[in-house]
Amino acid sequence: MKLIVGLGNPGDKYARNRHNVGFMAVERIADRHRFGPWKRKFQGTAADGEIAGEKVLLLKPDTYMNESGRSVGEASRFLKIGLPDIIVIHDELDLAPAKLKMKTGGGNAGHNGLRSITQHLGNDYVRLRIGIGHPGSKDAVSYYVLNDFAKADAVWLAPLLDAIADAAPRLAAGDEARFLTDIARATSTEDDDKPAKKPKPDADKPERASILPRATRMDDAPPERPAPSTGRHPAGERANKRQSAIADNLKKWLAARDKGE
């Protein structure tokens, strides 16, 4: 048998508080899986049912958050449910809103409800932590958790509670990894599922049909370059220069002969 505990404070005054998200989660599980009516027992309100063939007791302590351990401890001892089969759902300031984490044992991170349960039962029970975000200042924590979720939180809160209820068979079976995976899939947005877009080619640069480098394509072959100079002149130019040199030498010889006469 599993004991799934939602933490919160009793009464309409606290019903929509951030601190009561554990209550909200077990209420959604009870509705989804058609549990029996909520009854006063174990210093709290409890509902019996079955999930995926596993008997489950859902419990909302009426002892107020700081004394949650009194109610959980009484239920655990009476039903002889060991710590590995106790799952406590609670709010977590150190997680961003809508984020979930599960762990067994560990520290209580200043959560008074967890501290009370640990004092009455020990520490090695399973915790499902629902992120509500942090107000940014330690002095503002009490006001923040004891006030209602903002209207904007409805965008993620309702789908998350539905996903937790839908994935509850994994929770009852002790399959924590698949429980979290199912919730992640159920709460992913359309944008999360879309593949990354490929960058568009530049408008002034047509796409190339060939995968070859441009220089290897026949229609794009570069023009031939002239052969590098070797320091020699073409044959005709050399002949013309020789003739000019002979004519100049002949003129000089004739001029010298005339002076000699």
36: left (phi over 0), alpha (psi -120 to 50) or beta: beta
Direct distance between the N- and C-terminal alpha carbons of the chain, in angstroms, rounded to an integer: 144
Q: Which residues of 164-195 are buried (b: 16+ CB within 10 A; e: fewer)?
A: bbbbbbbbbeeebeebbebbeeebeeeeeeee
| 27, 165 Cβ separation under 8 angstroms | no
Catalytic residues, by residue number, are 19
Q: Which of 112, 103, 107 is nearest to 141 (CA)?
A: 112
| 122, 82 Cβ separation under 8 angstroms | no
DSSP 37-63: --EEETTEEEEEEEETTEEEEEEEESS
Structure tokens at 192: 């999360």
Tell me the C-alpha to C-alpha distance, in Å, between residue 173 and each of 6, 176, 177: 18, 8, 11
Structure tokens at 55: 């008997």
Number of other residues whose CB lies within 10 A of the CB of residue 103:
11
Tell me the C-alpha to C-alpha distance, in Å, between residue 65 and each of 56, 60, 133, 207, 227: 22, 10, 19, 65, 92
